[in-house]
Amino acid sequence: MKISTLFYTFWQGIKNIFRNKLFSLASIATISACLFLFGIFYSILVNFQNIVKTAEEGVCVVVFFDEGIEESRIEDIGEMIKRRSEVAKINFVSADEAWESFKEDYLGEYSEGFLENPLADSANYEIYLNDVSMQGSLVSFLESVDGVREVKKSELTAMTLDGVNKLIGYVSAGIIIILFAVSVFLISNTVTIGISVRKEEISIMKYIGATDFFTRAPFVIEGILIGLIGSAIPLGIIYFLYNKAIGFVTGQFAVLSSLLNFLTVEEVFKTLVPVSLAIGVGIGFFGSFSTVRRHLHV
């Protein structure tokens, strides 16, 4: 294709947007509304997932050893644990460290009466998981290891967090499918109506010998530009609202902000921007392409 033809079709696509202002505004508004809802839902979803993930990171399995176990065996058990795929990290707590922590948390000044460490056999490994749903398999393995006296686990917490994760996955998938279906339906109908109005224009171009590509290209470019504009507008609005919302929560609810770890707008938009632009441009392209194609046979 010649450069002049490329510039002509691109310029005609831009002119079509201004030539059919109501159609263009309707399409942009439809795309913007759908992607705005998608963006709001996505921002809430990823923050909720991050909060759950942070809570998961605090869940650990604690392994205690048999009395009189040798330090070399403790080290061997630690190496075995590190090699497990379920394990994110492990932390060794010596008997002295366990006693110091216990005194600080529960005894305070009353700990001075103890001449010896009553927790002499309380050395342990704190094991943090990659995924709380893996806790069961790890605990089964640990209980079978020679030298392990007891395995403490947070079964209820793990089950709760795993259930929340699955619920988030199902709900998010359902809402995203619904929003996508609604957006495709509305935009497809809007594009169909707009191009149907210009059916006569397409027919004239075909009668004077224009190729299918030459006829279709300006409308496809128009659809792509409309999709691009329609996806950029809600991104700007969400960027502004997200910063305001996070600033308000952290400023007005200090206790809540210390418990909840919100993602920065950059972390959210790292995925939201390319996904939204791809959806907007993709819907604009396929909507205009398929609609024009139905009117090429005159």
State the pLDDT at residue 2.
Answer: 62
State the pLDDT at residue 54.
Answer: 74
Could you tell me the fold of the domain covering 60-153?
Alpha-Beta Plaits (3.30.70)
Cα dihedral sign for 282, 285, 286, 291? positive
**More confident of the two residues 287 and 228:** 228
**Cβ(210)–Cβ(276) under 8 Å?**
no
Under the banding of pLDDT at 50, 70 and 90, the label for residue 237 is very high
Per-residue pLDDT for 227 more than 90?
no
**More confident of the two residues 187 and 90:** 90
State the pLDDT at residue 95.
Answer: 72
Per-residue pLDDT for 107 more than 80?
no
Q: Return the minimum-mean-pLDDT range out of 224-228, 230-234, 290-294.
A: 290-294
| Bridge partners, 128 (sequence order) | 60, 89
Query: Residue range 67-93: average pLDDT?
Result: 85
**Cβ(91)–Cβ(126) under 8 Å?**
yes
State the pLDDT at residue 30.
Answer: 80
pLDDT in tens, 167-195: 777 877 787 777 667 666 665 665 566 56
3 state DSSP class of 208 = coil
Rounded to whole angstroms, the Cα distance separating 105 from 98 reads: 11
State the pLDDT at residue 132.
Answer: 75
227: left (phi over 0), alpha (psi -120 to 50) or beta: alpha
Rounded to whole angstroms, the Cα distance separating 114 from 123 reads: 18
State the pLDDT at residue 280.
Answer: 84
Rounded to whole angstroms, the Cα distance separating 264 from 275 reads: 18
**More confident of the two residues 206 and 51:** 51
Dihedral in degrees, nearest 10, Cα atoms 197, 198, 200, 204 = 180
Q: What is the pTM of this model?
A: 0.65
Q: Return the minimum-mean-pLDDT range out of 63-72, 79-88, 206-215.
A: 206-215
| Side-chain-facing half-sphere of 180: CA atoms under 13 Å | 12
Q: Over the chain, what is the mean pLDDT?
A: 76
Structure tokens given for 234:
């809600």
pLDDT in tens, 259-290: 667 888 888 899 889 988 988 888 778 777 77
Query: Residue range 57-80: average pLDDT?
Result: 83
Structure tokens given for 21:
């202002």
Rounded to whole angstroms, the Cα distance separating 4 from 170 reads: 50
**Cβ(91)–Cβ(48) under 8 Å?**
no
Per-residue pLDDT for 39 more than 70?
yes
Q: Return the minimum-mean-pLDDT range out of 75-84, 96-105, 246-255.
A: 96-105
- How do the domains of the chain map onto residue ranges? 3-55+162-293, 60-153
Complete DSSP assignment for 37-70:
HHHHHHHHHHHHHHHHHHHHHT-EEEEEE-TT--
Pairing of strands 148-152, 87-93: unpaired
State the pLDDT at residue 292.
Answer: 67
88 vs 79, 83, 96, CA distance in Å? 13, 10, 25
State the pLDDT at residue 285.
Answer: 81
